């Protein structure tokens, strides 16, 4: 089973997050990140605030993640042509809140833009326009409990029926290795570990390393 940990560059310090990225390199993961923004609200706001306080800019994210492959950028807004050019230089995959038509236009560049769907909202046109994989949002928001197994299974089946060869990354609500194993059993190709991954980073690199080794060791053997 492949995993996709979320790493906020600059959280809790730039030095710690760089150590985390170095540790994850070569561990058969796709590393997810976001661009720091003062406009983020809710549970993620502290992560972004700390990153900005550490001096992390969009340019710094592009610079660091250009050397951290494969990688995935979760975007909160539509992007200009200039921003898309910067993203295409540093990221393998990205996701932005755009409709299916716009997604097709975004995919004119090197970066493979993907659709994000959930059991309550599956846009088949967006899935058809997605490149690389499709992101299945398994809870209504980060940190919340995942949808039921039947709902998740039906979502996976619908995605497969729409694009049988398109890999599925499943995230949101993953709190344990048991959750990751369940999603793999339901048909996910990669499981994203978001909030729990960032929480583990809060205490510094050593705490994250211990968390991630425990997480990996408790996954079922393929």
pLDDT of residue 153: 97
Identify the CA nearest to 118 among candidates 92, 142, 101, 102. 142
154 preceded by a cis bond (ω within 30 of 0)? no
Element (H or E) spanning 77, and its range? none
pLDDT of residue 222: 65
pLDDT of residue 25: 94
pLDDT of residue 86: 93
User: What's 76's DSSP letter?
Assistant: S
pLDDT of residue 42: 80
Q: Sheet harboring 190-193: ordered strands across?
A: 2-5, 190-193, 168-171, 134-137, 115-117
pLDDT of residue 44: 84
Element (H or E) spanning 12, and its range? none
Predicted confidence (pLDDT) per residue in 173-206, tens digit: 999 999 999 999 999 999 999 999 999 999 999 9
Mean pLDDT by 10 residues, the chain (222 residues): 95 96 95 95 88 96 96 95 93 96 92 97 96 96 90 97 96 95 96 95 95 93 70
pLDDT of residue 138: 97
Domains of the chain listed by start with CATH number: 2-217 (3.20.20.70)
Element (H or E) spanning 2, and its range? strand 2-5
């Amino acid at each position: 089973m492949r995993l996709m940990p979320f790493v906020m560059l600059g959280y809790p310090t730039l030095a710690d997050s760089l150590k985390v990225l170095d540790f994850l390199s070569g561990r058969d993961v796709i590393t997810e990140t976001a661009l720091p923004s003062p406009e983020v609200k809710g549970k993620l706001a502290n992560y972004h605030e700390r990153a900005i306080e550490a001096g992390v800019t969009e340019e710094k994210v592009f610079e660091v993640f250009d050397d951290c492959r494969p990688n995935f950028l979760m975007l909160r807004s539509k992007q200009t042509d200039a921003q898309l050019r910067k993203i295409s230089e540093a990221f393998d995959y990205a996701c932005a809140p755009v409709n299916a038509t716009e997604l097709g236009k975004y995919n004119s560049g090197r970066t493979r833009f993907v659709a994000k769907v959930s059991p309550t909202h599956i846009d088949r046109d967006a899935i058809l326009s997605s490149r690389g994989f499709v992101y299945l949002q398994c809870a209504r928001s980060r940190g919340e409990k995942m949808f039921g197994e039947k709902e998740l299974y039906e979502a996976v089946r619908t995605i497969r029926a729409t694009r049988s060869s398109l890999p599925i990354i499943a995230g949101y609500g993953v709190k344990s290795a048991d959750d990751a194993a369940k999603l793999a059993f339901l048909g996910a190709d990669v499981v994203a570990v978001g909030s729990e991954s960032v929480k583990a980073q809060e205490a510094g690199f050593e705490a994250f390393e211990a968390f991630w080794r425990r997480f990996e060791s408790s996954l079922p053997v393929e």
